[in-house]
Structures are given as C-alpha cells and as structure tokens.
C-alpha cells in the first residue's frame, strides 16, 4: 500500500456545502442516493473535484442533472476525478451496497438484523462516493427508509423533521443536522431497539432530550450509561463552560463493533460493552469504563466535532485532548463520590490506573517498530494509528500543558481555541498556538512532543552537602532513537518533585536564591539536556521523590537501593509515587527472580520486600482502593519490556514464585482482610465499595496462588454466594489463576448461569485465555484456546469475542503464547489470516501482538520469524495487516 505523508497535505480544489442522502435499506442491496452541493475552494487555483469510494457499485452519477462530458471523468475503483467548469455543481450519485456481506464493520453493516454505520476514519466512502476527508465539512440531511417490522427505529444525526408510512410494510424518517460536519461523523441506525429517555436542562436553560437505545430486554442495563451522560454534561458545563448544542443526544448500543464507541454528531454508536451494566453482569471496572467512555464520546462533541481535525495526522488533536478530558472527569467524579477526606487518594488511584495503561501499552509501542510521534509523519493505513501513542501519550502531552500553564491558563487557552476555531478543521499547531497566545508563553520547544517518538529517559542524581544543609539535584534527559528518527532534541519536561526528610515528612522546598520556601511539591522545568537545582535550608539529607503524579511520560532512571524504595513505599506523601516505589521494588525482585529462573538457580524473595509489602497490606489508614493498587504487581507486558531479552517463561516462573511466597507468608493477614472488610448488602457502584471489593479480590488471588486451603475455601464460598459480578468474577478469577481443583467446576457453573449473555461470556473466554500453567505437566493453555475457538458461543465475526479470546491469549498471557515449540505463533498466523479475510481492522490489532518480536530470546525469535513471513506472504493480505507485518520485519 502507498505511504501517505503528513507534509504532502494539500487543500482540495472542491468542497461540499450540503449533502442530501436517501437510504433505501435492504439487507443485500441497499440503494444510496446522494445529492451533493459542491463549490470550488477559492484558496486553490484550479483542479478536479475528487471523490473517494471503496467497494461501491455505482448505478448513476450526474452533474447538474447531466451525464459527465466525455473526457472529463477519470475513474478507478477507489477514486473519481471530475473536471467541472464553473464554481458550483450539484452532483447526484446512486450506489448499491451490501450491508449483510459487510464483515469489516466499516461503512454500513448489519448486526443482529439491524443496520449500523461506522465511518471514522474512512468508512463513509464505503457508502457513497464522497471527498472522504475531515476538512470537508457539510450540512447533512438524511432520509432513511426501511422495513417497519425488522427496523421500527430509524435514526440519523441531528433532529427528526419528518416520518411516515410507505407501502409494503416500509416506513421512513428524515433527519436534519444543523451543524456542518465531516462525513466521518455521519451515522445511521435502523434496528429493533427500545429506549431509555431523560429530559435535562442545559446550563443556559435549554431542554434537551437524552436517549440510550438498546435491544429489548436490556433496558435494565442502560441506567448507568444515562447517569454518566448527565454527569458528563454537567462537568463540561462547569469545567470548560461547554454546553450541549443539540436538542437531542442519542447513544445506541450495538454488539458488533470494532472499537469502544464512536462520537457521531448527536448519534453516538457504542459497543454494548461500554453501555450495558447491572450489578449481576458488570464489574466495578465495567461501571468505571462505561462512565469514562460515555464521557469521552460526549466530550468529543466539542473537542472533535465542533472543532475537528484538518487531516488524520492531527488525530491526537481530538483524541489526546479528549482522553485528557475524560481522565480529569473520572478523577473528579471519583473524588466527589469519595468525599473530602478521601478525595486525594481517589484521584491518585485514577492516575495510577492511567499510568499503568501507559506503561503497559504505550511504552512498548514507543520502543518497537511501530513507534511514532503523537502526530505521526506517515502511515499506510490510518486505522493502524488509533494507538496508545496517539490516545494515551497524546493525553499526557495535554496534561503537561495543563501542568505548565495551570488550570486557569489551560482554561483560557481552551476558550481562545474555541473562539478561533469553532466550526473548522484545524491542526495541532492551532491548538498549541491558542494555548501559547492565551498565556503569553512560547511553546515552540514544547511542540517537539508532537514530532518526536520514543520514551525519554530522565536521569536524576542528588548530592547532599551536610555542612551547608543543601541538596544539589542534577537532572538530564535522553530519548533513544526510533525508526526513522536517529537524533532527538531536548524536550520540555515538567518534573514535579518533593524532598522527604528522614522522619518521613516532606520538607519545604527552597531553591538557592529564593527568600522563602514555596510548598512541598514543586514543578521543575527541564528543557535542556541537563540541569542542576540546589535546594537549601534542609536539616538532614532528604530522599527525593521525583516525577510526582507522573508529571511527564518518561522513564525515570534513579539509583535507589532496596531500603530507600521501602522507605518511599512507607512514607512518600505523593500517593502515585508511593505506588511507584512499590512497583519499582516489585520489578527489581521479579527481574532478579526471572534471571535466577532462566539460569536454573534457586529463586529467593528478599525478606525486605515481603516486609514492605506486609506494611502496606496492614496499614488501615490507607484506603482499600489504594492498597489494592499498591499491592498489585507490575503488568507483565511492562516487565517484559524491561527484560533484556524478553523471556516470558522465566518471568512467569518468577511471578508464580513471588505470588506463592507472598500468599503463603502473609496468609493470615490476607484471610483476615477478606473476612474483615465489611461489604454493604446491596451493590452500588461507589469508589469506596469498589476499593474494598478490589482489595478482597486481590487477597483471594494471593491466597489461591499459594494454594492456601482456607483461602481457597473462602474464594469458593464467595464465588457461590456472590451478590454481584465483581465479587463473583473476582473469586472465579482467583480460583482459575491459582489453578486449584475448584476452578473447573466454577468455570462450568459460571458458563451455565450466563450462557445467553454475550458480554459476560466475553469475561469467561478472556479468563481462560489468560490461564497460567502452574503444573508443567498440565495441558498448555493453547489447547484450551483452540477448544474455545470451536465453542458455540464463540464467533470470529464478533470483535468482542476475538479480543476476549485471542486478544487476551496473544497479549495477556505471554508465557503460554510464546511456547518454545512455536505452536502459539502458528495459531496466531492462522487466526490473523482468517480474520483478515473478513475484518482487516481487527486482524491488524491481533497482528500487532508480534510486532516487538525482536525483543525476545533468540530461540523465540527464530520461531516467530517464519510465522510473520507466513502472514506477510498470505494471498490477498490487507493493507492494514500488511503495514504491521512489513514494519515488524523491516
């Protein structure tokens, strides 16, 4: 596939002002009639009107009612160029498409008898010919006509302006969207759905209708999404002064969906996973994800829809900013629910979650063949660039702006951004320029975060001068080379720091030359390769606490011995850093155990680590949610990234050994915790309750890992008696991960109970795909995964099932996937090829599981290469998978 480059952006000679669409829906032969009011772009001298198309059957195309003149049309399967005289033209185009056969879930497709669309990034061209770029913003009117019996509900963007009956059991609805929008925000739904409705007043007193549309039987699971929507509305009004601009805002849940959700103007389409929740089927984590995804899509209405991207290279303009907004929203929601006393801890727990995701998903991406800046310079297939870098690192970049400018400065920048760019398609430079102008601050060097890939390393060293009572901190930065970027420049890195005294208390921070100390946490700005700061007025040698709140997306390299890590685990006033100290200590222990396992040496867990862990476990002053975070070991994907070379079998041996050691040495504490934490009888989604449940489930994990008989009995009992999914699934996961005798019976019981519930079965598939083998004689998890592929409830056509079973196996179970005989890789190749024939986007996501293959042991690399080549050489490979494999093998 050709490479598209950011620097080659050219404005189009023609644009579209108005679109009038008519859909005559039929499962295998939907006819789409499109009328386009087109005008020349005055900024461009001359040129043809260009239309994109993909797998379209074209029935008619006229310009101002006439067939195009001979010699004025150039056509290929994916592009039509029209030479047109004059400055205006009305095009009428009729296409025929086959929604039933559309297994890509891009464009117009069928799911469970209904019709749904997904147009971002380039799905609209699979519906009709159109200049399918985000900088073409037009006013849409849409008429949907379909069979009343199978599709009683007909929806599109904006306001319903007309509806009526038609002959032959058909009906129609006409929708008008008052806001110009790019075609990637177009949506249509025609299905048999029921609705949960609520009327709310906006801050300015306008009444708006909020709707959540779901399949019959699921209304009792729609309430949480509705609550989340109302909370998001209020939050955006209060935090950014942004109000809902439509009279009606709809959310529709669909079972077959490639990603999480889509922010189509006024008609968000959601994966059911991010809408449906009730205590019996959804865990606390599900409730939390639903709230943040609903908010994310809602926030896009301003950051994405009102102001959109000029081209897809600017994707982080809307995604990084919107992720930052949803992270702030979730933190505020958790803090508000936790109450004043527990608010700071609730915020830290959310921040820790976000840091975990960044480290486990984005850091490996930034260190591999797919490494790219948050604003990529090139791509072959844009769908491959909806990445952790664009989303999560993009959000970190916005967070750094927030840190550097302060909340008020940031808000002023947002206001200016909207005042300049509302209703247009812009670039990341436009956003940062608005921030710069509103704050009178030069952000030119800051823009390097948009153009440089790779995770910067920040090194820090301190020297104590006892006589002077001063502490000299030297900080330097270095970003390793990434594909296509050998040289890196120094970035602007906000480094939040504190200095802890020997008594565990933070010391006031006073820099040399300052008259007074200023607070106990301060943000230093590192903008050169190296810099020194001297802190004065100290009574004793401090322990530095660096990168508080994870103030920049960097890897901090600082020499800390075990005692110092244990000290920070016990005393760091910054909860995020306290957690990080525990993670660093655990990482050190695990990597040492793994090295011993790889060399065939005996594994021994340092007593100091067990003691530090026990202190956290027993510290009743810490809230349960924080303790659950601090006592969870670092993600396997992150640890593999820190191993040289990555050896999944050795790491797994280390994890099993450490889990067993902690579980058996601390069994009394863990059991006491499970039995002592009182849960309210009635489930409610609340951070305090969720924290207790998380801590209990973690304790059960350690107890089952240690095969502690009483602990296993507790898990089995909790599984049998659970009153909600968090408790039930937490206990089941503990039994299964411990591979105890009770696990198989519990899995079977769970299946029987939820056999008709697709979303709950996804959990059942994922749990088994992630099974650890504690007995080397037991059959490999691979055999179970193969058997599950044939289960009646599994389908390769449903992305949720693929992510649950194959995604979990390839990504979340490295030791069982990376089998020395290469059988895991053979399964990977076979499934990627099979998926690619039906759904290239999903196939490419699965293909990425092997992109960092060069980081593994030579023996594993040798087993991976032939399977990568097998996929590369597969007939008819998509551009999506092709790009991933080519970059991996390059």
CA geometry: angle 240, 241, 243, nearest 5 deg = 115
Q: What is the dihedral of CA 366, 651, 615, 550, to 10 degrees?
A: 0
By CB under 6 A, which span of 293-301, 324-332, 700-708, 730-738 interacts with ligand HT7? 293-301
- For ligand HT7, the closer CB: 374 or 646: 374
User: Footprint of Zn ion on residues 314-333 (CB under 5 A)?
Assistant: 319, 322
Nearest to 610 by CA among 650, 556, 555, 670: 670
* Binding of ligand HT7 by 272 (CB under 6 A): no
Catalytic residue chosen out of the listed positions 122, 297, 365, 381: 297
Closer Cβ to ligand HT7, 136 or 630, answer by number:
136
Distance in Å, CB of 296 to Zn ion, minimum: 5
Of residues 261 and 759, the one with the C-beta less far from ligand HT7: 261
> In the bound complex, which residue of the shown chain has the CB atom lying closest to ligand HT7?
259
Is residue 393 close enough to count as binding ligand HT7 by CB under 6 A?
no
Cis upstream peptide for 121 (omega within 30°): yes
Contact pattern for ligand HT7 over residues 594 through 633, marking x by CB under 6 A = ----------------------------------------
Tell me the closest approach of the beta carbon of residue 335 to Zn ion, in angstroms.
23
Residue 268 beta carbon to Zn ion: minimum distance, rounded to whole angstroms: 11
CA angle, 877 as apex, 9 and 836 as ends, to 5°? 100
SS3 104: coil
Q: Which residues, 301 to 330, sit near ligand HT7 by CB under 6 A?
A: 319
Figure out which of the listed residues 183, 232, 242, 259 binds ligand HT7, where binding follows CB under 6 A.
259
Residue 169 gets the label, from left (phi > 0), alpha (psi -120 to 50) or beta, of left
Q: Cα 226 vs. chain centroid, distance in angstroms?
A: 21
CB 259 within 8 A of CB 271: yes
* Rounded Cα–Cα distance for residues 160 and 158 (Å): 7
Task: Please give the DSSP secondary-structure letter assigned to residue 810.
Answer: H
Contact code string over 785-824 relative to ligand HT7, x by CB under 6 A: ----------------------------------------
CB of 322 to Zn ion, least distance (A): 5
Under the binding rule (CB under 6 A), the answer on residue 262 touching ligand HT7 is yes
Smaller CB distance to ligand HT7: residue 134 or 553?
A: 134
Residue with tokens 């769908």: 383
End-to-end CA distance of the chain: 15
Give the shortest CB-289-to-Zn ion separation in angstroms.
14
Specify the residue, 325 or 652, whose C-beta has the smaller distance to ligand HT7: 325
d(CA 456, CA 86): 53
Residues 185, 177: contact at Cβ < 8 Å? no
The H or E element containing residue 147 is: strand 139-147
Distances (CA, A) of 39 to 36, 89, 543, 841: 10, 6, 65, 34
Smallest separation, CB 10 to ligand HT7 (Å): 24
Q: 62 is written with which tokens?
A: 């006229």
Exposed/middle/buried for residue 826 (C-beta within 10 Å: 0-12, 13-18, 19+): middle
Choose which of 141, 258, 314, 768 interacts with ligand HT7 (CB under 6 A). Answer: 258
Interface stretch with ligand HT7, choices 63-71, 81-89, 261-269, 820-828 (CB under 6 A): 261-269
The residues, any chain, with a CB within 8 Å of residue 383's CB and separated by 6 or more, are 121, 122, 840, 841, 844, 880
The only residue of 126, 171, 181, 296 in contact with ligand HT7, by rule CB under 6 A: 296
Minimum distance from CB of 323 to Zn ion (Å)?
7
CB of 118 to ligand HT7, least distance (A): 5
Candidate list 52, 54, 120, 381; residue touching ligand HT7; CB under 6 A: 120
Q: How many residues bind Zn ion (CB under 5 A)?
A: 2
Dump the DSSP string for 384-412.
GG--HIIIIIHHHHHHHHHHHHHHHHHHH
383 belongs to the binding site for ligand HT7 (CB under 6 A): yes
- Kindly tell me which residue out of 386, 550, 567, 772 binds ligand HT7, with binding defined by CB under 6 A: 386
Cα angle: 65, vertex 70, 76; to 5 degrees: 95
Tell me how far apart the alpha carbons of residues 460 and 82 are, in angstroms, rounded to a whole number.
60
3-state class of 32 per DSSP? strand
Taking the complex as a whole, how short is the minimal distance between the CB of residue 121 and ligand HT7, in angstroms? 5
Choice between 279 and 882, CB closer to ligand HT7: 882
Active site (annotated) includes residue 297: yes
CA dist 408 and 9 (Å) reads 34
- CB 117 → Zn ion: shortest distance, Å? 17
Residues 425 and 310 sit within 8 Å (Cβ to Cβ): yes
Stretch of residues binding ligand HT7 (CB under 6 A), selected from 114-122, 199-207, 423-431, 729-737: 114-122
Please state, as a whole number, how many other Cβ atoms lie within 10 Å of the Cβ of residue 397: 25
574 part of the interface to ligand HT7, by CB under 6 A: no
- Residue 453 has phi, psi (to 5 degrees) of -90, 170
236 is an interface residue for ligand HT7 by CB under 6 A: no
Classify residue 79 by burial, with Cβ atoms within 10 Å: 0-12, 13-18, 19+. Answer: middle
- Please identify which residue in 15, 30, 102, 118 interacts with ligand HT7, judged by CB under 6 A: 118
- Judged by beta carbon distances under 5 to 8 A according to partner kind, the member of Zn ion, ligand HT7, none in contact with residue 639 is none
Nearest-angstrom CA–CA distance, 115 and 130: 21
Number of residues interacting with ligand HT7: please give it, by CB under 6 A.
15
Smaller CB distance to ligand HT7: residue 319 or 572? 319
- Closer Cβ to ligand HT7, 273 or 296, answer by number: 296
Residue 120 interacting partner from Zn ion, ligand HT7, none (CB closer than 5 to 8 Å by kind)? ligand HT7
Q: Closer to Zn ion at the Cβ: 308 or 655?
A: 308
Which of the ranges 175-183, 253-261, 547-555, 712-720 carries the binding residues for ligand HT7, by CB under 6 A?
253-261
346-369 per-residue burial string, b: 16 or more CB within 10 A, e: under 16: bbbbbbbbbbbebbbbbbbbbbbb
User: Least distance to Zn ion from the beta carbon of 300, Å?
Assistant: 6
Distance, CA of 75 to CA of 705 (rounded, Å): 63
Cβ closest to Zn ion, residue 297 vs residue 647: 297
Q: Cβ neighbours of residue 761 under 8 Å, at least 6 residues apart?
A: 751, 754, 755, 793
Residue 76 CB, nearest approach to ligand HT7 (Å) = 24
Q: Which of 215, 263, 288, 574 binds ligand HT7 (CB under 6 A)?
A: 263
- CB nearer to Zn ion: pick between 319 and 580: 319
Spatial separation of the C-alpha atoms in residues 411 and 406, rounded to whole Å: 9
Partner from ligand HT7, Zn ion, none binding residue 259, C-beta < 5-8 Å depending on class: ligand HT7
Q: From the list Zn ion, ligand HT7, none, which binds 262 (C-beta under 5 to 8 Å, kind-based)?
A: ligand HT7
The residue among 14 and 299 lying less far from ligand HT7, judged by its C-beta, is 299
Q: Which is nearer to ligand HT7, 262 or 565 (CB)?
A: 262
Distance in Å, CB of 40 to ligand HT7, minimum: 30
- In angstroms, rounded to a whole number, what is the distance separating the alpha carbons of residues 786 and 776? 19
Interface residues with ligand HT7 (CB under 6 A) are 118, 120-121, 258-259, 261-263, 296-297, 300, 319, 383, 386, 841
Active site residues: 297
Interface residues with Zn ion (CB under 5 A) are 319, 322
């Amino acid at each position: 596939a050709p490479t598209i480059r950011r620097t080659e952006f050219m404005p189009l000679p023609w644009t579209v002002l108005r679109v009038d669409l008519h859909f005559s829906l039929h499962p295998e032969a939907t006819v789409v009639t499109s009328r386009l009011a087109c005008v020349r772009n005055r900024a461009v001298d001359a040129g043809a009107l260009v239309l994109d198309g993909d797998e379209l059957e074209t029935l008619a195309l006229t310009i101002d009612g006439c067939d195009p003149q001979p010699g004025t049309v150039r056509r290929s399967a994916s592009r039509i160029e029209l030479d047109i005289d004059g400055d205006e033209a009305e095009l009428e185009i009729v296409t025929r498409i086959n929604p039933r056969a559309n297994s890509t879930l891009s464009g117009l497709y069928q799911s469970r008898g209904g019709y749904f669309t997904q147009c971002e990034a380039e799905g609209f061209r699979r519906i009709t010919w159109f200049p399918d770029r985000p900088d073409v913003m037009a006013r849409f009117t849409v008429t949907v006509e379909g069979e009343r019996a199978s599709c009683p509900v007909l929806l599109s963007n904006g306001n319903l302006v007309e509806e009526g009956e038609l002959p032959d059991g058909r009906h129609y609805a006409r929708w008008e969207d008052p806001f110009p929008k790019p075609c990637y925000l177009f949506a249509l739904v025609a299905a048999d759905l029921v609705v949960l409705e609520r009327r709310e007043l906006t801050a300015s007193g306008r009444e708006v209708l909020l709707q959540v549309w779901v399949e019959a039987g699921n209304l009792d699971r729609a309430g949480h999404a509705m609550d989340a929507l109302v909370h998001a509305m209020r939050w955006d009004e209060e935090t950014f002064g942004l109000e809902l601009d439509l009279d009606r805002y709809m959310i529709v849940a669909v079972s077959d969906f490639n990603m999480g959700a889509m922010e189509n103007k006024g008609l968000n389409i959601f994966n059911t996973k991010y809408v449906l929740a009730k205590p019996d089927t959804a865990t606390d984590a599900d409730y939390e994800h639903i709230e943040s995804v609903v908010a994310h899509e809602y926030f896009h209405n301003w950051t994405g829809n009102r102001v959109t991207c000029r081209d897809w290279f600017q994707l982080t303009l809307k995604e990084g900013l919107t992720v930052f907004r949803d992270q702030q929203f979730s933190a505020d929601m958790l803090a508000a629910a936790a109450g004043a006393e527990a608010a700071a801890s609730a915020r830290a727990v959310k921040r820790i979650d976000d840091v975990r995701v960044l480290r486990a998903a984005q850091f490996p991406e930034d260190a591999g063949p797919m490494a790219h800046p948050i604003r990529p310079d090139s791509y072959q297939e844009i769908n491959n660039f909806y990445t952790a870098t664009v989303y999560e690192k993009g959000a970190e970049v916005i967070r750094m702006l927030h840190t550097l400018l302060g909340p008020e400065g940031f808000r002023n920048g947002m206001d200016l951004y909207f005042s300049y760019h509302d209703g247009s398609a812009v670039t990341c430079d436009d956003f940062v320029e608005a921030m710069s102008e509103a704050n009178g601050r030069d952000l030119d060097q800051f823009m390097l975060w948009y153009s440089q890939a790779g995770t910067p390393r920040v090194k820090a060293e301190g020297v104590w001068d006892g006589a002077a009572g001063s502490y000299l901190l030297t900080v330097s930065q270095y970003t390793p080379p990434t594909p296509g970027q050998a040289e890196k420049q120094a970035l602007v890195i906000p480094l939040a720091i504190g200095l802890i005294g020997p008594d565990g208390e933070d010391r006031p921070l006073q820099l040399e030359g300052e008259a007074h100390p200023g607070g106990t946490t301060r943000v230093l700005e590192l903008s050169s390769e190296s810099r020194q700061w001297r802190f004065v007025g100290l009574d004793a040698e401090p322990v530095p606490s660096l990168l508080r709140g994870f103030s920049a997306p960097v890897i901090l390299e600082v020499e800390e011995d075990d005692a110092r890590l244990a000290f920070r685990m016990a005393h760091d006033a910054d909860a995020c850093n306290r957690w990080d100290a525990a993670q660093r200590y655990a990482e050190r222990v695990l990597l040492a155990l793994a090295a011993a396992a790889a060399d065939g040496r005996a594994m021994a867990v340092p007593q100091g680590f067990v003691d530090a862990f026990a202190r956290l476990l027993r510290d009743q002053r810490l809230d349960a949610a924080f303790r659950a975070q601090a006592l969870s070991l670092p993600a396997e994907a992150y640890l593999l990234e820190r191993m040289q070379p990555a050896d999944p079998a050795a790491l797994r041996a280390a994890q099993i050994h450490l889990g067993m050691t902690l579980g058996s040495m601390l069994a009394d504490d863990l059991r006491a915790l499970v039995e002592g934490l009182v849960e309210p009888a009635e489930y409610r989604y609340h951070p305090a309750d969720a924290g207790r449940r998380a801590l209990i489930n973690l304790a059960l994990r350690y107890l089952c890992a240690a095969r502690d008989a009483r602990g296993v009995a507790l898990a089995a009992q909790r599984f049998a008696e659970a009153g909600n999914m968090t408790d039930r699934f937490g206990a089941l996961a503990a039994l299964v991960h411990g591979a105890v005798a009770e696990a198989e019976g519990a899995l079977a019981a769970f299946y029987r109970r939820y056999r008709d519930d697709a979303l709950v079965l996804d959990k059942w598939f994922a749990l088994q795909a992630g099974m650890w083998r504690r007995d080397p004689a037991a059959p490999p998890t691979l055999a179970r995964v193969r058997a599950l592929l044939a289960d009646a409830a599994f389908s390769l056509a449903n992305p949720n099932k693929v992510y649950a079973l194959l995604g979990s196996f390839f990504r979340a179970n490295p030791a069982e996937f990376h089998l020395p005989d290469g059988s895991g890789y053979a399964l990977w190749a076979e499934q990627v090829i099979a998926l690619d024939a039906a759904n290239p986007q999903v196939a490419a996501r699965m293909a990425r599981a092997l992109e960092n293959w060069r980081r593994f042991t030579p023996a594993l690399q040798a087993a991976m290469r032939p399977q990568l080549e097998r996929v590369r050489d597969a007939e008819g490979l998509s551009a999506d998978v092709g790009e991933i494999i080519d970059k991996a093998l390059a």
